[in-house]
A and B are shown apart, each in its own frame.
Chain A
Amino acid sequence: MKDKIINGLRFAGLGFMEPLVRLINGEEPKKNSINLVKRVVIPVFSIFLFIMIWHGGATYLYNVEADAKIEKALNDQGEEAAKEMEACIASGDVSCKPNALPSPLEVFGAYKKLMKDHAEISVKKDEFKQKVAKTNEQRVAKGQKPITYTGRPSFVDQIGTSLKTVLAGFVLALLIAVPIGIIIGLSDVLRNSFNWLIQIFKPVSPVVWLLLVFMIVKTLITDPDLDKSFIISFISVGLCAMWATLVNTSVGVSSVDKDFINVSKVLRLGVGKNIFKVVLPASFPMIFTGLRITVSVAWMVLIAIELLAQSPGLGSFVWEEFQNGSSESNAKIIVAMFVIGIIGFMLDRIMIMVQKVVSFEKTEIA
């Protein structure tokens, strides 16, 4: 049982919980307590340290901003106004709140508010669905399109949209980069002749990709029912992120252990068998390293692309809140920042888990 839990934790990348499990089992208390301190207590302490530094910094910036506001009131409108401003700031009224880096508490407040907002919108959505259920049935029967909810999306909805975009972009990158990588990996001639293309396009900025994709999609897709901004953003994400996989696949394929290639030659395996039975499995570790980089790049450029493509999602959420400019919006932006970071981290963990399942190398994958 204990070993099962430990193996499960390791598999999920939560190996640092191992000393705790062993300690609960009463196993080597001294060694495991030390390990617990090393692997759990100190990292948790570092989180607290981070929050404290953040809090200190936020308080300092708040004071600087408040002082500047009072100073400005003093200079512009005289002493009376300055005193009024000071009182107003002390009371915490929204109208005169200094707009600075939000403190951890404010961010947590914003997080709770966003969740509450999500709950409310969900309720509204459900009510709407019930209301239009009958009408929609009739419309579908008549061959018309059903009525959908078009109200403001909640924060959680936007996370969902972003994940959907990243997933679509990732699949696109996979479908383009892996086959091309294999083909150019197998042939020196092709690799050399495509190298310039890869070297030129690899460093191109996400923004430029977006514009390029926009130019093409705009012409090709004229159907107003299709979600053009979604299509543009996922294609851009895929094109930005696929390079790591392409390069890794071609390098992995071209550097397969010579012994394996010799085995394939002696057995005279056909092209397809050679690729699927020998070359691909042998280069899986390299391809997966590429795919992991692709996922993290996709998630990173997604925010920038959504912001520009006006596609709904975390990127546009951040942009809208920034335009909003209130102190609460700043807190929401930081909530989004953490959510983006944590999701990126989780995506990477998922990729590692998949890699552990498919890869023949059972050694530790960092």
Chain B
Amino acid sequence: MEVIEQESFIKEFIKPKLPQELLSRPDMLSCNNLRKVYPTPKGDYVVLDDLQLSVKQGEFISIIGHSGCGKSTLLTMIAGLNEISGGKITVDGNTVREAGPDRAVVFQSPSLLPWLSALGNVMLGVKQVFPHATKKQRLDICKYYLDKVGLGNDFNKRATELSQGMQQRVGIARAFALKPKVLLLDEPFGMLDSLTRGELQDVLLEVWNKEQITAVMITHDVDESIFLADRVIMMTSGPYAKIGDELVIPFERPRNRRDVLEHPEYYDYRGYLMNFLNH
């Protein structure tokens, strides 16, 4: 009985469309016919094949899919940290060839340099991106973002003295401080407990609201993807993974957690995504 009900509910569900305002913006990131092959002793293993993706300027997308489907591979390829086997990735019209600060990455593990302070970690990137700024200007940039992520009093703490959650806050500050064209988030909250995860999602959203940087986030948390993204991309399981489906989340911005959870369509979206993952 219940099964029939659920199926009928899916049929009734009408997918929302991307708002006209977003659609009219130019593409910031696009992947065309993207392919990734890992050679193995038993022959080539094709992780991604014929993958198409385009992201509008200032759009926040999240990519969900099962573990090992190639989500992270896709992200590292966009970042330029992983070789592209075929196809093309362009960011703001430029073809991606190597890693660079225009595509800032927040890694799953905070990846702070443990011998530097929180400030030092952010400063390392700021110095690269703003070589002509004065010392004072650079310091202001670092302090602004560290303050925004809630580390206003811990500038000089060493990375090793900070908790995992605090370290990831620095990771977020470091990425935003680079003023990137695209922000890449590789399961940034995957290693945190659920309470800290919620806090950091709020922090991320707050900073992002101010900057409106094009963002691509990998996650396997359905609620997280709905809460943060304008559009959720669903990837099929590998090998030969590609984009299976996508769902636009038309909630008003700025969002807050309670409004999103209480939204009448929230569980429809959630059900749709869960349904994709379970089939």
Binding site for B on A (CB under 8 A): 259-260, 262-263, 265-269, 277-278, 281-282, 284, 360-362
Contacts and interface: CB of A to CB of B under 8 A. Distances in A.
B107 A262 contact: yes
B16 to A, nearest CB: 34
A340 B166 CA distance: 49
B128 A268 contact: yes
Nearest to A362: B160
Interface stretch (B63-71, B85-93, B94-102, B134-142): B94-102
Interface residues of B, number: 22
A360 B107 CA distance: 21
B191 interface: no
Contacts of A277: 113, 124
A266 B160 contact: no
Contacts of A361: 114
Contact of A268 (B100, B109, B158): B100
Chain A facing B: main interface SS? helix
Best-buried of B115, B125, B178 by chain A (most CB within 10 Å): B115
Interface of B: 79-81, 98-101, 103-105, 107, 109, 111, 113-115, 124-125, 128, 158, 160, 178
Given A260-B113, A263-B111, A268-B128, 20 more contacts: A259-B111, A262-B79, A262-B99, A262-B111, A263-B113, A265-B80, A265-B81, A266-B79, A266-B80, A266-B81, A266-B101, A266-B103, A266-B104, A267-B128, A268-B98, A268-B100, A277-B124, A281-B113, A282-B115, A360-B115
Nearest to A277: B124
Contacts of B103: 266
Contact of A269 (B81, B115, B128, B160): B128
Contacts of A282: 113, 115
Nearest to A278: B113
B124 A267 contact: yes
Contacts of B107: 259, 262-263
Contacts of A262: 79, 81, 99, 105, 107, 111
Given A262-B81, A360-B160, A268 B111 contact: no
Contact of A266 (B99, B109, B115, B158): B99
B114 A360 contact: yes
Nearest to A265: B99
A268 B99 CA distance: 7
Nearest to A262: B81
Contacts of A266: 79-81, 99-101, 103-105
Best-buried of A260, A267, A361 by chain B (most CB within 10 Å): A267
A261 to B, nearest CB: 9
A266 B128 CA distance: 10
A151 B79 CA distance: 71
Nearest to B171: A263
Contacts of A267: 101, 124-125, 128, 178
A46 to B, nearest CB: 38
Best-buried of B79, B104, B113, B158 by chain A (most CB within 10 Å): B113
A295 B178 CA distance: 44
Nearest to A270: B128
Nearest to B158: A360
Contacts of A362: 160
B104 A281 contact: no
B128 A281 contact: no
A260 B111 contact: yes
Closest 7 CB pairs of A and B: A360-B115, A259-B111, A265-B99, A281-B115, A267-B128, A266-B99, A267-B125
A252 to B, nearest CB: 14
A282 B112 CA distance: 11
A265 B100 CA distance: 7
A352 to B, nearest CB: 19
Contacts of B81: 262, 265-266
Contacts of B158: 360
21 contacts: A259-B109, A259-B111, A260-B113, A262-B79, A262-B81, A262-B111, A263-B107, A263-B113, A265-B99, A266-B79, A267-B125, A267-B128, A268-B99, A268-B128, A269-B128, A281-B115, A282-B113, A360-B114, A360-B115, A360-B158, A361-B114
Contacts of B128: 267-269
B42 to A, nearest CB: 25
A263 B115 CA distance: 14
